[in-house]
Structure 1
Amino acid sequence: MNWDQIEGKWKELKGKAIEKWGDLTDDEVDQVAGRREQMVGLVQQKYGRTKEEAEREVEEWHRGL
């Protein structure tokens, strides 16, 4: 699944994002709306990760979908 597909199915997939990153709120995940860079930035900010760590984490989540 590519990121265009993720954006299109975000309402279905946002629950999986909240499962992985339990500190994220529904509103925060809604604002991401399936956009990769926003997801990376949110994980980076919320969990204090470096950009590289957040990118790796989001990519691992993406591959698991």
Structure 2
Amino acid sequence: MNEDRIKGQWKQLSGKVKARWGKLTNDDVRVEEGNAEYLIGKLQERYGLAKDVAKKEVNDFVDSL
């Protein structure tokens, strides 16, 4: 996963993140600002995912961009 890529394009990607994971609030997305670990934590919290599953979802999302 390339966090620099995510951070550099965060404004464009934030809409896609919100569309992919609708349970994330606008505040979650705003605070995250491309921080993959924060996103993984929020996915665990909002969706009840195990850390490895949340990490895989984030990696798959980034790879699909």
5+ residue gaps in structure 2? none
Q: Corresponding residue for 2:22?
A: 22
Paired residue total: 65
Match of 2:50 in 1: 50
Counterpart CA distance in 2 for 1:4 and 1:28 is 19
Supply the RMSD in Å over aligned alpha carbons.
1.2
Q: CA deviation at 1:26?
A: 1.1
Q: Supply the distance in 2 between the matched residues of 1:60 and 1:31 (Cα, whole angstroms).
A: 21
Q: Which runs of 4+ in 1 moved over 6 A?
A: none
In structure 1, stretches of 5+ residues that fail to align are none
Task: Report the identity percentage.
Answer: 42
TM-score, scaled to structure 2: 0.92
Amino acid at match of 1:15: G
